[in-house]
Structures are given as structure tokens and as C-alpha cells.
Structure 1
Amino acid sequence: MKQINPQFLKMGLHQKQEDNIVQCLICERKCKITAGKFGYCQTRINKGGKIYSIIYGLIPAISFNPIEKKPLYHFYPGSIAITIGTYGCNFNCFWCQNHHLSHPKEKIHTLALNASKYIPPKEIVQMALRNSCKGTSVSFNEPTLLFEYSLELFKLAKKEGLYNTYVSNGYMTKEVLRHLINCGLDAINIDVKGDVNMVKKYCGAENEKIWRNIVYAKEHGVHVEITTLLLEGFNTNELTIKTISEKILKEVGEDTPFHISRAFPYYRSHEFNFTHSTPKSSLYNAREIAINSGLQYVYLGNVTDNDYQDTKCPNCSQVVIKRNIYGIDKMNLDKNGRCMHCGHFISII
């Protein structure tokens, strides 16, 4: 019988239960997995009474992207990050914009069986250096599923002076987040899907655990930015936007960048009658609500209006970073990160 390349197997955090059941401790689903079976994300297997990842070094997606594409607007603006991803997700959002990786048509176990190329973390770092990247980013699918790989990647990247970033749904356990930070996680963009009810109904998750991780990351020195993908009729109402905005303000501060992005009807959207991309008017309205709630830096994504990607000084309203679609045109900041028009400090790393 064909076997998975042993290089793709890596023992993960787990806790033994009774009767050969093992509990995975990677994300807050904390799946209890019986012998030979997989957890919710289909990337963790109970093998011999231990949890193993089957995607360690299975990296089907590699690209060299501006850090703005994450999006991370206040972290090394204008730099390039080698960006990697694998298969699987611990959510099953019907609107998933990267479903070809998060929820591939073939079973992930089958993809791992048929995969031929193992890419060690050191090779990713070498590729980053050869291509003049300033850092790494684990993205595309849910990066938490590459937790074990990330630990090694981050340590190696740090030795070469590179930064490390995640683009995540934020549903990892606190223990996983702590390990990531200790190994060199510098910045994270966390996708807040909506209010408590929406996250519970469509993601099967607890919103407060996502916010717990947002706060924990911020308190432990990680640069944090928040994204909400707007789906017309699901999370575009004023109360939802105001609730998210006020939560950002209260938990991580007024200078936390908030990205409001336009959703398109991908994956299983038609099953839920989400059949047209979210109107720009809904994004403009959401941005106004967020700004009126007290947030200083509110950006719009997946729109062609570049003005809504610019960073403006909250003191004098002058543009301090002029952006194009995923790039920098001009920066009006001095070497100390202050606005060149009025001297106000802008919270940018």
C-alpha cells in the first residue's frame, strides 16, 4: 500500500484520552481523534496514539508578494515577503476566497500520498534571501495548520534577519500562539469574520477565542492588523461593523489598522444566496462607521479606489504613505516614523 512520504509527517501538540483517542491541541476545535482517523481540518491523523501533521513541508503555493497584499499596511511598508501555503482549514466558510487550497476537491490525504516534493524550511529561507525578500509570510490557507513547520521556519528566518508573519483566522490555541511568538512571529493579520452569531453559525467557532488571541498577540509584542471581509447581507449591517470597530478600539487600540475588504461569490456562496460581489457602497459605509467609532486607520480592500489604501496622518490628515494596488508610491515619513507635514508619530514598524 502506498504510504505518505515520512518527511511530510511531524508530531504535533496533543493530549492522550481514553481508548486510543487523542486530542489535537493545534486549534480551539481540539478534535478528539480515534486511531487512524483525521481531525476536522483533515491534516492531523491519530497514528499510533499520537497526533501527526501530514503536510509538514508539503508546500503547493509559493510566491513573492508585497507585504501590503497580506494585508499588512503598517509593517515594513514596501517590502517583499516570501509567501507560502499548504492545504486545509479549520473553518469551512462558504465564501472562502482561497478554497482551491483550503478545501481542495481531492482529499488532503490523497494529495499528501501523491505529492513528490518535500520542501524543508531552510529552502524557503534560502529562496527568500535569493529573491531579496525582507521576510516570510504563511498565508493562502489557514497557517496554523503549518504550525510545526512555522516554528522551524521562523527560527531559521530570524537567524538571517528576516521577519515572520501570519495571515490567520486566529483560532489557534493560546499554547500554539505562544510557541509561534517565542520562535519569532513578528506580525499577524487576523480575519474577524463578523459578530458572535455569524462566526458561530457559519464557522462553528467561538468569536471570543479569536479576540483573546488578538489581545494576547498584541500584549506580547506582535504587530496586529485586523481584516473583515464584507459579505452583503451577512455582516454589512451597521451594528456588526460598529461592534467590531468598538472591539478593536477597546482591545487593541485606536491605531490598529482595520482592513475592510470586498467579498466575491466564490466556493459555496451560491448555496447561501450570496451571488454578487459586495457593493462598493457597503464598504464606504462600513469605513465611515469604523472611523466614527474612533479608529484612526481604516482601509478598503479589493477595490480599485487607491485613495482608500493610503495612510493619512490622524493629526493633520495629510497622506503619509501613498499606495498603488499592493505597492508604495511615496512615503512622507521621517526616519523616526513621524509625519513630515506636522511631526505626528505614525504607528508603523
Structure 2
Amino acid sequence: MGGVLYATGYGKLSAVEVRPIEIKPLFHYWPNSLALTYSNYGCNFYCPWCQNNHLSYARPPEQGEVTPLEELVELAILSGADGLSASFNEPATQFDYVVDATLLARERGLYSMVVTNMYYTESALRKLVEAGVDGFSADVKGCPGMTRALKGVSHEVVFRNARAALDLGAHVEMVYLVVTNTNDSEDCYKWIVDKHLDLLGTDVPLHVNRYYPAHRWREPPTPLSKLMEIREYARRSGLNYVYVGNVGDPELETTRCPRCGKVLVRRSGYRVTYFNAVREEGKYKCPRCGLTIPIRGRYVP
């Protein structure tokens, strides 16, 4: 307007609430902590099964109130949260606000993480990490050759950025929502797992999550047999930490030592119910065999 570019949605938040970090899902980042989760409006994707479509496909109100950064961070502290989480809609749509909130949160001793489709430039990613975002719950939506949805998306970009985030020192966990008759073919899941191994390695967790009908997509929920098929392929291929989510089975969300098999973390209802990794010199290790377990941050009892 008048030759000046304005972020008209800056600070116009659509939701603010305290949620467990495990619900993001992040299982190896500040286990059992609470994050003040905030969102605004819009998305750079159109997923027709989006459960948050009322936020992702809406515009910020023109006369909406702006939530001051100080108020957001103070609310996190007063509510007992350990950090901030930009979530619900795509955080990149409120990029400036996320960066500013992260900078202030870091000053107050809070972590910052994002739930994201990881679809933006590497320079934007670098700015997020430099500001203090060190946790990424990164959604991989599918694979090359998808025809029913997201046909214009290069899924290579998601893995490129996940690799870049790791190289910048951030923590990354990949989330694969397995949508029935859409991104669940053998060719598709093998491409995702193989790309994960090639670019991210064996220790980056993979969450294989069940889809349920939402918004415009009416395919039936993902069969458990399909989720287990993908899980077994990922484990046979060499991934050390593969979880199955949205099914409510604590056993499928349990962390075991990949070397000796000892149970290290049990989870139920998005909370940690048992934690048995030993912290030594800032790293968590298996108490039986001593293997270093990739966990960022501290366990919050």
C-alpha cells in the first residue's frame, strides 16, 4: 500500500493453547514437555484431507486484534509451558511473527519448534534456525507421481529442507500421514522411506500416522495392516526409530534401544509414562548398553 509491503496478518492469531510436545508429534525433543501452541491463518498447500481447514483455508480478519509478542511469551511462562510451538496451520504464513516470537522466547529461556510442511526456501529455513527454532515436526505428504492431490508439489523439497535443518543443528522428525488410495502405494512408501534413509539417516525418527476422513476427503481410515506394512519396511531398511501414530497403541509409540532392545520411553495419550534413558554430559544413553539415543532437550518429569 503506497509502495510499502505490509504483513496484514502479523500477530492475528487464530488459536493459542498449551499442548504436549508428543502431540506434534515430536518424541525425541524435550520429552513430556508442554508447548504454548499458536497459529494464524492460511497455508501454502491445499491438502483436501486437512483437519484444520477452518484455519488453513481462511484469511485473517481485517479488524482482528494483534497479539503482542510479549503477551504470547508471558502467557507461555504463566501457563507452565517449556516452549513455543507454531502449529495448526503452516507457520511459514506468519514467518515474521514466528521469527520475532522465537527471538523473545529464547531470551526468556523457552524453546521454539514448528509443525510444518517444510516447503519454503533454504534462506527462510536458515532464518528460522538462526532465530532459535531448533525443532521441526516435518510433514512429508507423498511422493513423485501422486495424481489425486498435491500434483504440483515437489516432495524432494521437503527432504532437502529437512537435511538442511539437520546440517544447521536443528532437531527433525518426519511425519508421514498415510492417506488411503492417495499416497499409500508400495512405490510411494518405499520412495519416502528410501529418501529418508539416503538424506536423513537412520536416527531421524519417522512417524507413520493413520489418516481419518476430513474436509473434502472421504476415503476410509488407513487400515492398520497398511501402517504395519510400512513400519516393517522402514525397520527392515534400517530406520532405528519408527512410530505408528493416531491408533492409540502405546506399544507402537514406545522407544527401544536399537542396539539391545531395552525399553527407554513409553508413551500413552500423548504423555510420557515411563522414561529410562540416562543423561550423561548432556546426552541421553541406554542404561544397559550405553548407546547414545538422539534426544534434544531435557526430559520433563
From 223, 233, 236, give the equivalent of 1:292. Answer: 236
Residue correspondence of structure 1 range 1-349 to structure 2 within 5 A? 47-104=1-58, 108=59, 111-115=60-64, 117-198=65-146, 201-202=149-150, 204-270=152-218, 274=219, 276-336=220-280, 337-349=284-296
> Alpha carbons of 1:338 and 1:219: their partners in 2 closer, same or farther (altered >3 Å)?
same
- Higher relative CO (Cα under 8 Å, sequence separation at least 6) belongs to 2
Following superposition, the deviation at residue 172 of structure 1 comes to: 1.3
Whether the aligned pair in 1 keeps the contact of 2:248 and 2:268 (CA below 8 Å) is no
Whether the aligned pair in 2 keeps the contact of 1:238 and 1:289 (CA below 8 Å) is no
**SS in structure 2 at match of 1:92:** coil
> Alpha carbons of 1:200 and 1:282: their partners in 2 closer, same or farther (altered >3 Å)?
closer
Distance 2:142 2:31 in 1: 27
> Alpha carbons of 1:257 and 1:120: their partners in 2 closer, same or farther (altered >3 Å)?
same
Letter in 1 for 2:257: C
Give the gaps of 5 or more residues in structure 2: 297-301
Following superposition, the deviation at residue 214 of structure 1 comes to: 0.9
Whether the aligned pair in 1 keeps the contact of 2:179 and 2:222 (CA below 8 Å) is yes
Following superposition, the deviation at residue 50 of structure 1 comes to: 4.5
**SS in structure 2 at match of 1:186:** strand
Following superposition, the deviation at residue 321 of structure 1 comes to: 0.3
Distance 1:251 1:48 in 2: 45
Following superposition, the deviation at residue 203 of structure 1 comes to: 5.2
The percent of aligned pairs where both chains have the same amino acid is: 39
Give the gaps of 5 or more residues in structure 1: 1-46
Equivalent residue pairs, number: 293
Letter in 1 for 2:289: C
Q: TM-score, normalised by structure 2?
A: 0.93
Distance 2:3 2:206 in 1: 42
Instruction: State the superposition RMSD in angstroms.
Output: 1.5
Distance 2:147 2:268 in 1: 32
Whether the aligned pair in 2 keeps the contact of 1:214 and 1:224 (CA below 8 Å) is yes
Distance 1:165 1:91 in 2: 20
Whether the aligned pair in 2 keeps the contact of 1:232 and 1:282 (CA below 8 Å) is no
Q: Where in structure 1 do 4 or more consecutive aligned residues deviate above 6 Å?
A: none
Whether the aligned pair in 2 keeps the contact of 1:242 and 1:293 (CA below 8 Å) is no
Whether the aligned pair in 2 keeps the contact of 1:199 and 1:206 (CA below 8 Å) is no
Whether the aligned pair in 1 keeps the contact of 2:48 and 2:149 (CA below 8 Å) is no
Higher gyration radius (CA): 1
